[in-house]
Amino acid sequence: MQYLESLPTSRGRAGSDWWFNTLTHSLLLGMVANRWADVGRICETLKTSWLEGPVSDDVPLQYAQVFFLIASAFRTEPMRNVADLESSVARGFPKRPRHLLACWQAVHDRDQAKLDAALVTSLERFKARPSSVLTLHGPTGNLPEAESVIHLAAIHLGLQPATLPDSLADFLITPASIGIGA
């Protein structure tokens, strides 16, 4: 959290995906470890002004906006401009953030069937990416961090674990998939 808090201006973040990777990994680790109070503290540090410029060459703005939408649900007070973030993702060019938005909207609506279907669509698209676009982490990483965060958030917010084909469920990062509580 100190790292995120030490970046008061967009100039401190412009062109670098380090802050964003720190955010996504912190949320994922906090959720996997069932440390929801820490997840809440991380989410409280975020400011929508951080999204005023590009995140980096590798991270589309709309992908970051999805994480801010998720984070808003774990704050004491929801972020301002949530509707603007949703609108930006919905009309954005990259398809993956739009699939993630569909997943998150299902969680927000507490619609299990819609979540299951949206996760299947998003994970199938993730799985089908050409290997030429794979990187270590982020939106083109080897693991579906965003889908995993959404899935863990959904469970914490009262939905059931998604019903997915084994070939897709194996992609998700969960406590059981990494040997916690297994």
> Are the C-beta atoms of residues 157 and 39 closer than 8 Å to each other?
no
Closest C-alpha among 77, 69, 72 to residue 98: 69
pLDDT at 83 over 50: yes
Question: What does the alpha-carbon distance between residue 156 and residue 111 come to, in Å, rounded to a whole number?
Answer: 14
Question: What does the alpha-carbon distance between residue 142 and residue 98 come to, in Å, rounded to a whole number?
Answer: 19
pLDDT in tens, 97-114: 999 999 999 999 999 999
Which amino acid, one-letter code, is at 181?
A: G
Label residue 133 by pLDDT band (50, 70, 90): low
Residues 34-41 have a mean pLDDT of: 96
pLDDT at 76 over 80: yes
Query: What value does the mean pLDDT of the chain take?
Result: 85
Choose the weakest-confidence range: 4-13, 81-90, 127-136.
Answer: 4-13
Closest C-alpha among 92, 98, 165, 167 to residue 127: 167
pTM for the full model? 0.87
pLDDT in tens, 134-165: 554 455 567 899 999 999 999 999 999 999 99
